[in-house]
Amino acid sequence: MLSKEIGSPLGWDTDLPFAGLAGNDFLAALTFRVPASGLPGGIKNVIWQATFSSGTSGLTVNWQWGAAVYSNFSADYNSLGVKPVDDNKASQFQNSDHAGTPENFKPFVIGGARGGGGSNFTGSYSGTGSCALTRQLTTSLTVSQDD
């Protein structure tokens, strides 16, 4: 059973099954209001940090991130209607949108960040980051990715 719970105003708690889903799964997101003056082009060294844990050791976790721009958006994460998985049958959003698509705000996507607008609701993905939960006694590891 797939469930997505809103954890706090600062982010999401996403619980997903280990197998049986097609494509990518949504992990987390952040809304960021761009100042009226904009941001400088070519921003580098974005750091994304997360803690992965499992009751099973020896797992490998792979991730990517994207960024899209919206002309109208909400800081209320509950109102976004975020699609939790790519799989077009495993959530209430039975479409081909990418995991992480804010379904309730799709009409407001515009070009910018890592996306060109149109139907690119999450922006283009970064390179793939990866970590292995290899320690037998500790099955939690905090990782960072610079991109």
At 87-109, the pLDDT tens digits run 988 888 999 999 999 999 999 99
What distance in Å separates the CA atoms of residue 68 and residue 76, rounded to the nearest whole number? Answer: 17
pLDDT for residue 105: 97
Strands of 44-124 (E only): list them. Answer: 47-53, 59-63, 69-70, 109-112, 115-116
The predicted-structure confidence for 49-77, as pLDDT tens digits, reads as follows 777 777 777 788 888 989 999 999 998 88
